[in-house]
Amino acid sequence: MSSSEQQTSASVPSVWTRPRRQKEQPALSQEQIVAAAVRLLDAEGIEALSMRKLGTEMGTAATSLYRHVANKDELIELVVDEVYGELQLPEAGGPDGWREALSQGGHSLRDMVLRHPWVASVLGQVGLSHLGPNLIRMSERMLKLALSAGFPPGEADLAMKAVISYVIGATTSEASYLSLLARSGKSEAEWLESLLPAAEAALEDHPMVKDHASARHGQDPARMREEIFDYGLQRVLDGLAARLGRS
Q: What is the pLDDT of residue 110?
A: 94
CB-CB neighbours of 242 under 10 Å: 10
Give me the sign of the Cα torsion angle 14, 88, 114, 53: negative
- Side chain identity, residue 141: R
Q: Is the pLDDT of residue 95 over 90?
A: no
Chain segment 20-43, per-residue pLDDT in tens: 665 544 578 999 999 999 999 999
- For the chain, the domains span 26-70, 84-183+228-247, 186-216
Question: What separation in angstroms does the CA of 127 have from each of 4, 17, 166, 200, 241?
Answer: 17, 11, 21, 44, 33
Averaged confidence pLDDT in the chain? 84
Lowest mean pLDDT: which of 74-83, 128-137, 222-231?
Answer: 128-137
Q: What is the pLDDT of residue 94?
A: 73
Q: What is the pLDDT of residue 198?
A: 86
As a whole number of angstroms, the distance between CA 108 and CA 81 comes to: 15
What fold does the segment set 84-183+228-247 form as a domain?
Tetracycline Repressor; domain 2 (1.10.357)
Of the candidate CATH numbers 3.90.740.10, 1.10.10.60, 3.40.1440.10, 3.40.190.10, the domain formed by 26-70 belongs to 1.10.10.60
As a whole number of angstroms, the distance between CA 92 and CA 160 comes to: 13
CB-CB neighbours of 196 under 10 Å: 11
Q: Is the pLDDT of residue 229 over 90?
A: yes
Lowest mean pLDDT: which of 8-12, 29-33, 127-131?
Answer: 8-12
Same fold, 26-70 and 84-183+228-247: no
Q: What is the pLDDT of residue 25?
A: 47
Chain segment 40-82, per-residue pLDDT in tens: 999 988 888 999 999 999 999 888 898 898 888 889 999 999 9
Lowest mean pLDDT: which of 7-16, 146-155, 203-212?
Answer: 7-16
As a whole number of angstroms, the distance between CA 220 and CA 197 comes to: 19
Q: How confident is the model at residue 11 (pLDDT cuts 50, 70, 90)?
A: low
Q: What is the pLDDT of residue 187?
A: 86
Q: Is the pLDDT of residue 166 over 80?
A: yes
Residue pair 91/152 in contact (Cβ under 8 Å)? The answer is no
